[in-house]
Every structure is written in C-alpha cells, then in structure tokens.
Amino acid sequence: MTRRLFQSSKEMADYMKATRYCDCDSQEIVKKAKQLTAGVSTQRETAKRVFNFVRDEIRFALEEHNTSAPETLKRGTGQCVTKSSLQIALLRAAGIPARYHVVDLSSDCLKGIISQDAYESFGEIITDHPWCECYLSNKWISCDTLFDKLLYESGLRKGVIREEDNPTIDWDGENDVNTMTTWIVTDKGTSPNQDDQWDNERKGMGSIWPILRESNKYTEQVRKE
C-alpha cells in the first residue's frame, strides 16, 4: 500500500511498523492521518497536527484496559498508553518514525486530577508510563499529549497542576515537551513496540474499573471548572 507522505531511512524501519496496539496500517488510522495532514508539506507541520489532534480531541481519562489505536480513535478518550499508541500510529501512517519512551512515575503526578480513590489505587509508583517521541530534523523529540488543553488550563486554575512543574503542554515541533518530567522515578528507555508489556498490564486492570469509572467523572468535573 502506498500511503507514506514522507520517505524514511532504512534504519528507522522498526519505528514505522504496525503492531497490535499501534496499528498504523489500519484503515481508520490511515484515513485519519490523511485528513489531518491534508495540504501539509513538511514533517514538522504534520507532526504538530497529529500532536494537537491527539492532545485535545482524545481527552484524558483512565481506562479499564489498554486498547488499540483505532479503538482509541473511535472512543475519543485515553490515558498515557492509549493516547501514545494512537499518536505513534498516526505519525507512522503519515511517514514519520515514532517510538515510546517509558518511565516509572511518582503517583503524585495525578493527585487532584483523578479521584482520591483512584490515586490511592495506584500506590506510590505508576509503572511503565509512556509518551511519544518522533524523529524530526535528525533527532528524537518528545511530544507528550497526555493532558488535553481544557483539563490542563482548568487544572492550573484549580491548583492541581502547577506551572512550575508543568509549564506548558504546547509543542513547537522542535523542542521536547513532556508533562511528567518532574515526577520521573526510573527512566526505562525507548522502544518501538510495547505490545507485550501492555498485554501484561491489561490482565490486572479489570478489578479496579469501578474506581476508574468514578474517577473519570471527577476528572470531567475538574475539566469544567
């Protein structure tokens, strides 16, 4: 299938492949990538359009389990895993190499953004938190889409997000942006494929789904304030 907007070097092959969660070859992802990049002539602008779409049109919410990029696109909400997988899939579909960067975080990163019950259910550490990195201008750049703009701005007003910890969620296509830098405990590096890890995590999420569902109501209220 010919669908790449830009040519990628051979060494980037692993960062262009479709996986179960990052299904960049699916009809839905290819179609959305084409819609988002219509009329665009540069990789930088392509990546920015994908970034803005995933950040704001896929609202932050906790999910019962990890889902594929097409499912996340259809649902319109996502957490770190699902938003990153969708963003990576759209970038790959548009011909831009993309990968996961995975870390462990202090759960304080979500305090006040999710409900107290959900916050306590995570314990002190949130393991295997990913964000998206894409390859532009001969370098890898972090472009984290976790918090939608409405939630970020409301969180600032409410005081559950502090500007000194998270000064911006805007991205210029040239410099790193990452919502979670302040809370990184362990940096686990980068990977083109996290399917096996997400499968393992998926097994244990069902038991806390009622807590997560209620937490999303709380987060939606934060977003509206």
Band of the pLDDT at 4, cuts 50, 70, 90?
A: very low
Name residue 142's beta-bridge partners.
133
Segment 92-122, tens digit of pLDDT = 999 999 999 999 999 999 999 999 999 999 8
pLDDT at 64 exceeding the cut of 80: no
* pLDDT more than 90, % of the chain: 82
What is residue 9's predicted lDDT score, i.e. its pLDDT? 61
What is residue 146's predicted lDDT score, i.e. its pLDDT? 98
User: Strand 184-191 vs strand 139-142: parallel, antiparallel, or unpaired?
Assistant: unpaired
* pLDDT more than 70, % of the chain: 92
Closest by CA position to 72, among listed 38, 113, 24 = 24
Closest by CA position to 99, among listed 175, 190, 5 = 190
pLDDT at 22 exceeding the cut of 50: yes
> Which domains are seen in the chain, by residue range?
10-224 (3.10.620.30)
Name residue 100's beta-bridge partners.
132, 191
Segment 144-166, tens digit of pLDDT = 999 999 999 999 999 999 999 99
Inter-residue contact 198 to 192 (CB < 8 Å):
no
pLDDT at 14 exceeding the cut of 90: yes
What is residue 3's predicted lDDT score, i.e. its pLDDT? 43
**Across the chain, what does the average pLDDT equal?**
91
Q: Which helix (H) or strand (E) holds 72?
A: helix 69-75
Band of the pLDDT at 7, cuts 50, 70, 90?
A: very low
What is residue 1's predicted lDDT score, i.e. its pLDDT? 34
pLDDT at 133 exceeding the cut of 90: yes
pLDDT at 5 exceeding the cut of 80: no
- Distance CA(117)–CA(126), nearest Å, equals 15
Segment 174-220, tens digit of pLDDT = 999 999 999 999 999 999 999 988 777 665 555 677 888 899 999 99
The mean per-residue pLDDT over the stretch 3-20 comes to 73
